[in-house]
Structure 1
Amino acid sequence: MAMIEAGDAQSLMNLFKRKQAEDPMFFYTVQVDQENRMTNFFWRDGRSRIDYDCFGDVVVFDTTYRTNRYNMICAPFVGVNHHWKNVLFGCAFLLDEKTDSFIWLFETFLESMGGQKPKTIFTDQCQAMANGIQNIFPGVCHRLCSWHISQNAARNLGSHYGNQEFNHMFNKCLQGYCETELEFQSIWDDLLAKFNLTGNPWLMTLYNLRAKWCPVFSRHIFTARIKSSQRSESTNNVFHQMSTKTMSLTQFVHHYDKQAEKMRSSELEESFRCNQGLPSRIAKSSGILNHAATVYTRKIFKLFEKEFVDSLAVMMHEVGSDGTIHSFELNEEGHNRVYLVQLNSFNRTISCSCKMFESMGLLCSHALRVLNVKCWSQIPEQYILKRWTKDAKKELEANEHGELLQVNGKSSVTLRRNALMRTTYDVLSKAAETEATTRIAMEKLREMEELIEKEMITSKGEVNQKTSDNVVDCNASGCTFDETPVLNPPCVRPKGISNARLKSAMEKRRKRTSKDTVSSRKTKQSSKIGRPYSSTHTPLSSNFLNPVSVPMSTNISNHVYPTMRLLPTEGHANLPQPNLSFTGMLQSTNFMALLNKVFIESGISLILTEFLVENCCKKH
């Protein structure tokens, strides 16, 4: 795609505008400095919002990637889906790694996800990032990525890190092979003494952060027990392949979209395979194993099956019972470690001292051993975590299919719109995979349109009244902007990884004068980055060039900036929708026109939602 005259930044802005016209759930926010140069920006599409609603309990956030044209920091938000594969929640580019930049980004990310915080976030060992998390995500478990710690250990510990015995002891602490805090402390002390590292400053700093990286300190918190090292390493490879020395920001977004599409196609294929029958099972006569094969995806079932097989080698004996609550001690053959399991036969609850269910969401081999001995043929319902099941993405929010969220006693146009978009987004993504399913969806959409038009005629008076109650005239609010183009980001060289080749000493001397000029310019504007003039000021959004409204919010506030006109934004149901097809889903079907007819009336919204679920999904 050709770059327009205003440059890469303005080309990126125009790309985001087109995406927003095509995808009503698309969200983006851009910061500029006083010279109208782009400094930070974040974007995510509608599918990422849906994925976050389903799998946003654990987020891996990484800042080790660069694009070399501007040396901006690429910061993707990554999660893990019900097939144990990476899923993209969004991406940002930052000018620097300062606390203010991370606060802005985390505020923006949280806003784009309707205020829903993750349970756990994995990052690298950056104090500015930690400050931002503490400020914006209080109460969220902050874990340090083991992959980054391993990389830093290799740089800071020299020859020690190549020692086999040292690596064994260090990784035992790092990877969570310690079962108790006392065991961790014992191994750590032995490590320092054996290799004479008691005063090592890097290890001292790492030890002070032990609650953030050693799993033994957070077993009670859900982390999906993901190997954050694997998530970061695989994503690292993807982003380094995408980023080349001369790649522009717009080109990167296009490559990001292609990678996201590959990941989503892989997910659809895996979901299809999951629905073709039960996976092979090591013991087909086991009721619990058959139940697990029915509810879990293939990959998660294999993880569950491994625990089931391991349970066969677990020795147990009951140490107490009052008729309802039974206590057991268990140990694995060849190991002395004892695990405590407690079973309540009345309310069908079970707990284990290993805390696997709390951290992973799957029953451990110790709990399964007890259930098998007690002849339980099914997994108790409360121990089937929906995010791991085949139905993880169905019925995203119960209210959206039933009550259709109420605000101030009225059903909100904005909330109904989001409810419809979430349901239809996934359905139509599946429908677009083949010509046959596309024809089915188009046929059903035409049928829905007839039903909706009949309902609108029946309730015409009520619809008109609700329309007048919900629509705000944006023009009357003074929402106008100039057409001043957004300028390219200043070229800076922040710390971290870069794909650029290392320069020779002569090349560095030649570049010194130009670098000094850039540094001077950066100093002049650094205090103004992200603070454009605004006629209205709010703590959260006043520094947004394009402050997209919170997806699940019903409050529409107009942020006016003299440098840019107001753009159509997600959540602004009052703005007219473009006459564009729902790109990437149903080509040649103007799906948005159909949705526009149903946003304003809750009864029609329910008709559409139920019709889609009953007809399109089951045909796929």
Structure 2
Amino acid sequence: MSEDASPMLVVYDDPSDQRSLSLDDTSSTEESPDETRLSLETTNDAIPYIGQRFSTHDAAYEFYSEFAKRCGFSIRRHRTEGKDGVGKGLTRRYFVCHRAGNTPVKTSTDSKPQRNRKSSRCGCQAYMRISKTTELGAPEWRVTGFANHHNHELLEPNQVRFLPAYRTISDSDKTRILMYAKTGISVHQMMRLMELEKCVEPGYLPFTEKDVRNLLQSFRKLDPEEESIDLLRMCKNIKEKDPNFRFEFTLDTNNCLENIAWSYASSIQSYDIFGDAVVFDTTHRLTAFDMPLGIWVGMNNYGMPCFFGCVLLREENLRSYSWALKAFLGFMNGKAPQTILTDQNMCLKEALAMEMPATKHALCIWMIVAKFPSWFSAVLGERYNEWKAEFYRLYNLESVEDFELGWRDMVAVAVDFKDQTGEQQTMQQNLQNICLKTGAPMESHAATILTPFAFSKLQEQLVLAAHYASFPFEDGFLVRHHTKADGGRKVYWAPREGIISCSCHQFEFSGILCRHALRVLSTGNCFQIPDRYLPSRWRRISMTSAKLLQSTPNDHGERVQLLQNMVSSLITESAKSKERLDIATEQVSILLSRIREQPVSLQGVREMSSIGRNL
């Protein structure tokens, strides 16, 4: 809004306190801020007026600042008269428009280049003057001068928030930004995450991307090599405490850190079970090290992401990626994944062909979708959001924001050196109870073996299988929807060998039998899904069980604790139905009888006594 349209273009002064105001006076001094107390305003009016009183000059400043924000400008402290601790102390203060005064001309020197910065100051005369008085006994501040006439346009409400005076980052927001910086996500992603957390529209945070970058720059160490040394030292310290922790690194010709990769013992265990399909994400960059970050992740039997390892690389070239893949295979005892998903990185593609020739390489859809804004937003303009929503609907995708929120936790695990497997498994055990929908024996059987996540996927196919018809066809079956008169999928089933396959290849893709194969099994009076089609990666196994099986005879106390955890899980799962409780009671009785038949060593008695005293 312009100055002509403003309803508050007033200038007035208290005749009893007339003093000259020179906005170009640069000899003013700033006093130390007093402790702010409650304002003593005598009216609820939002416009400053002569005689308005405040308990402190800081309270007056805050009032004038709020008034300026509503009008479309910001203010700054200007000239003062008096000084705390000298004579009468501070007696008068001037607050002026942020565009008051004129920028002094700097004399240029050849040795020091001058930045060509455009100043916002234009000699605006808007101000508020306050003076200290003791008329009522206690010192207070009274407005003795006020002018609201501006020689520049005032900003609209959606523009004024971009003024530096109103762009503030709270302490809590600073903490979150620094945490995000450790995960390596971009400043743009930080802003989007905080907008989602605070439920504000894009662009309406009280700070901008530039403010975030300035904050990160102020916290960044002056010597990047110190960060690398700290990282290498941290890996060595973890290795001393945990011999199963693995890391590899290389140094350049200057003996500086060039590449480093690491993985946890629990990550290696997870990979042994769930490492058939791996995502290698190289889209993040750690600000502190100024190095690209690559993380290897997968999906466990509960449908949750699991962390396998990560790497920091100096360069993104064929040599670096080849080294990273070799290091990863070394961590995983030479076991390559069946499928690996990456973004469209040609150097990485070549490295994969060299180091993992038997692994199928595919592009990760989420890494491609995340780049859509930079590819299409400028071309499509206002139609971009509509096009994106239609794309998600056609390909049954969730939002990129949800993907980024999930990925943020994985990156945090990578760079914070935290092993969160235990907390993750605890969360997984608290998933919802399973509800049968078809009542078919195959469904009941699968429910006792598969995890809730995998069973829900199979259950969807079981429900849909009822809508399909199967016909004997050559050496197999033709399965098609009951509303279709032609077409369909070819299913081959060999009951004696327990082999079934479908032309849709869903099981080969996801490890979950398709509706077509389930329809044929149901038609053939098969009441249980063949064991080979309930793969171990989707079964109700846990890392706790794996640790118990792999533990050594020397860690007796740990094995007892793990067994207690398994028994607790057994009770929780068995109590969900009468059938489960009957099975558990019968099997535990048999197991208990077998255990009592085993001899007890004297050493075992001593260890149990020790454990009992510690509990």
TM-score, L = length of structure 1: 0.50
CA gap 1:353/1:254 in 2 versus in 1, 3 angstroms: closer
Whether the aligned pair in 1 keeps the contact of 2:490 and 2:502 (CA below 8 Å) is yes
Q: Deviation at 1:349?
A: 1.4
What percent of counterpart residues are identical? 24
Secondary structure of the residue aligned to 2:490 is strand
The reply on whether 1:315 has 2:534 as its aligned counterpart is no
The one-character-per-residue Cα deviations of 1:519-550 (angstroms, maximum 9, x if unpaired) are: xxxxxxxxxxxxxxxxxxxxxxxxxxxxxxxx
User: Residue 447 of structure 2: which of 290, 293, 300 is its match?
Assistant: 293
Aligned residue number for residue 416 of structure 2: 255
Kindly indicate whether residue 297 of structure 2 is the aligned counterpart of residue 78 of structure 1. Answer: yes
What is the identity, as a one-letter code, of the residue corresponding to 2:237?
R
Is the CA contact 2:470–2:477 (under 8 Å) kept in the aligned structure 1? no
Aligned residue in 1 for 2:408: 237
Pick from 90, 93, 99 the counterpart of residue 318 of structure 2: 99
Counterpart of 1:282 in structure 2 is 437
Cα pair 1:147 1:230 within 8 Å, conserved: no
Q: Deviations over 1:19-67 (max 9, x none)?
A: 1122221001111112111121111111011011111111111111122
- What's the offset of the Cα at 1:167? 6.3
Of the three residues 519, 538, 551, the one matched with 1:388 is 538
Task: Decide whether aligned partners of structure 1 residues 144 and 163 sit closer, same or farther in structure 2, where only a CA change above 3 A counts.
Answer: same
Whole-angstrom CA distance in 2 between matches of 1:76 and 1:169: 30
- Larger of the two Rg values belongs to structure: 2
What secondary structure sits across from 1:78 in the alignment?
strand
SS in 2 for 1:35: coil
Matched with 2:423 is: 265
Q: 1:346 — aligned with what?
A: 496
Aligned residues: 357
> Where does structure 1 lack aligned partners over 5 or more consecutive residues?
178-225, 243-251, 402-417, 438-446, 455-587, 590-620
Q: Relative to structure 1, is the Cα distance of residues 160 and 273 closer, same or farther in structure 2, using a 3 angstrom cutoff?
A: closer
What's the offset of the Cα at 1:124?
A: 0.6
Instruction: Classify the secondary structure of the residue corresponding to 1:139.
Output: coil
Instruction: Report deviation, 1:372.
Output: 1.3
**SS of equivalent to 1:159:** helix
Quote the Cα distance in structure 1 between the aligned partners of 2:541 and 2:554.
15
Is 1:126 paired with 2:345?
yes
1:455-534 to 2 correspondences below 5 Å:
none
1:159 — aligned with what? Answer: 379
Q: Secondary structure at the match of 1:62?
A: strand
Residue deviations 1:84-125 (CA, integer Å, cap 9, x gap): 000000111111211111000000000111000000011010
Tell me how far 1:82 sits from its aligned partner: 0.5
Distance 1:421 1:37 in 2: 43
Greater strand share, structure number: 2
AA aligned to 2:234 is: L
For 2:472 and 2:500, locate their aligned partners in 1 and report how far apart those are by CA, in whole Å: 14
2:512 to 349, 362, 365: 362
**1:37 aligns to what?**
256
Q: Is the 8 A contact 1:60 1:121 kept in 2?
A: yes
Question: How big is the alpha-carbon RMSD for the aligned residues of Structure 1 and Structure 2?
Answer: 4.5
Q: Which residue of 2 aligns with 1:67?
A: 286
1:219-251, CA deviations, whole angstroms, 9 ceiling, x for partnerless residues? Answer: xxxxxxx999899644543367x5xxxxxxxxx
1:54–1:392 Cα contact (<8 Å) kept: no
Aligned CA distance change for structure 1 residues 295 and 239 (closer, same or farther; 3 Å): closer
Q: CA 1:39–1:378 in 2, change beyond 3 Å: closer, same or farther?
A: same
TM-score, with structure 2 as normaliser? 0.50
Unaligned runs of 5+ in 2: 1-220, 570-599
Amino acid at match of 1:282: K
The DSSP-based 3-state class of the residue aligned with 1:329 is strand
Displacement of 1:68 in angstroms is 1.3
Query: 1:348-368 CA distances to partner (integer Å, 9 max, x unpaired)?
Result: 211111101111111111111
**Residue 376 (1) aligns with residue 559 (2):** no
> Which structure: greater helix fraction?
1
The one-letter code sitting in structure 2 at the alignment partner of 1:357 is F
Report 1 or 2 for greater relative contact order, CA contacts < 8 Å, sequence distance ≥ 6: 1
Provide closer, same or farther for how the CA distance between residues 142 and 24 of structure 1 changes in structure 2, counting only shifts above 3 A.
same
Secondary structure of 1:50's counterpart equals helix
Report the Cα distance in structure 1 between the residues aligned to 2:309 and 2:560, rounded to whole angstroms.
21
CA distance in structure 2 between the partners assigned to 1:350 and 1:293 by the alignment: 20
Distance 1:267 1:332 in 2: 42
CA gap of 1:84–1:331, structure 2 versus 1, over 3 A, is same
Partner Cα separation in structure 2 for residue 106 and residue 48 of structure 1: 16
Listed as ranges, the matches of 1:210-229 within 5 Å are: none
- Residues 571-586 of structure 1 mapped to structure 2, 5 A cutoff: none
Task: State the alpha-carbon separation in 1 of the partners of residues 392 and 442 from structure 2.
Answer: 34
Is the Cα contact below 8 Å between 2:493 and 2:500 reproduced in 1? yes
Instruction: Kindly provide the amino acid, as one letter, of the partner of residue 30 in structure 1.
Output: F
Secondary structure of the equivalent of 2:298? Answer: strand
Q: 1:330 aligns with which of 462, 474, 480?
A: 480
**Deviation of residue 381 (structure 1)?**
1.2
Q: Is the 8 A contact 2:551 2:559 kept in 1?
A: no
**Matches of 1:144 and 1:305, distance apart in 2:** 28
Note if contact 1:31-1:40 (Cα within 8 Å) is conserved in structure 2.
yes
CA contact (8 A) 2:309 2:414 kept: no
Output the amino acid matched with 1:330. R
Whole-Å separation in 2 of the counterparts to 1:350 and 1:422:
45
Distance change in 2, residues 1:33/1:56 (3 Å): same
Asked if 2 retains the 8 angstrom alpha-carbon contact of 1:30 and 1:41, the reply is yes
- Aligned partner letter, 1:80: M
Secondary structure of residue in 2 paired with 1:70: coil
